[in-house]
């Protein structure tokens, strides 16, 4: 099972779904990002549930693999197409 993020025109993640594995050629489909993009009419990018960033912003793969696209995409994240990564929105500090 793979996860896919749908993006608006500003590359902000609107929704993340569970979909077909990228190597699943069911129904003659070989590019699931393009398939889901065509169905929804929104840009779609695969994301890895096993990729995360530590507190220092360094990407890791939970199972020892290669981190994919920086981190698992969450609603509100931005997709950086230049670096092919998902980026969390900045955290605002509350003044005490």
| Model confidence, pTM | 0.88
What's the alpha-carbon Rg for the chain, to the nearest Å?
14
What's the rounded Cα separation, in Å, for the pair 76 and 25? 30
pLDDT of 44-90, one tens digit each?
Answer: 999 999 999 999 999 999 999 999 999 999 999 999 999 999 999 98
Percent of the chain with pLDDT over 90: 83
């Amino acid at each position: 099972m793979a996860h896919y993020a749908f993006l608006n025109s500003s590359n902000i993640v609107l929704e993340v779904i569970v979909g077909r594995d990228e190597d699943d050629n069911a129904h003659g489909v070989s590019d699931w990002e393009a398939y889901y993009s065509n169905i929804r009419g929104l840009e779609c990018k695969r994301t890895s549930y096993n990729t995360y960033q530590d507190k220092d912003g360094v990407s890791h793969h939970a199972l020892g693999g290669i981190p994919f696209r920086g981190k698992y995409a969450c609603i509100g994240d931005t997709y950086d197409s230049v670096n092919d990564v998902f980026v969390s929105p900045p955290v605002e500090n509350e003044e005490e």
